Amino acid sequence: MRLKRPAFAQAGILKNQVAQWASKIGVRPLRVQIQPMTKKWASCSPSGRICLSKDLLSEDRAFQRVVIVHELLHLRVHNHGKLFKSLMSAYLPEWERVANGRIRSVCGYKDYTRFHIQ
């Protein structure tokens, strides 16, 4: 996928945010890529690859942060249990408000009344 010049610049900014948050959280993603995704905002592979939807480039920074932190935390916690939710709240206390209504498709979690990003 080739991004046009403005999108390319936005992609660089988004990847920079990922690097900054990875440092804060203490994780090291193997690879970060931005690509078309039709059903999710992002995904994280067991090997450590983070994929972000190119549609995320047009979202506001606060929502981008929620998606980024969500995926990076999966490098530490592989489920959406209490620990995961506690870490989300510790890093982004406002994450549930920011993600309001768009929480269903970050990584395929079904019951996301209180938790998932779509």
For 93-106, write each residue's pLDDT tens digit.
Answer: 999 889 876 765 55
| Domain CATH for 35 | 3.30.2010.10
Quick one: CA dihedral 47, 52, 54, 57, positive or negative?
negative
Domain that holds residue 81: 5-99
Q: What is the Cα–Cα distance from 101 to 17, expressed in whole angstroms?
A: 23
Q: Is residue 27 part of a domain?
A: yes
Name which of 117, 25, 53, 30 is nearest 80 in CA terms. 117
| pTM for this prediction | 0.83
Tens digits of residue pLDDT in 34-90: 999 988 899 999 899 999 999 999 999 999 999 999 999 999 999 889 999 999 999
Inter-residue long-range contacts of 96-104, CB under 8 Å, 24+ positions, other chains counted? 98/62, 98/63, 98/65, 98/66, 99/63, 99/66, 102/41, 102/63
pLDDT at 96: 86
Adjacent-strand bridge partners of 42 = 52
Q: Is residue 105 part of a domain?
A: no
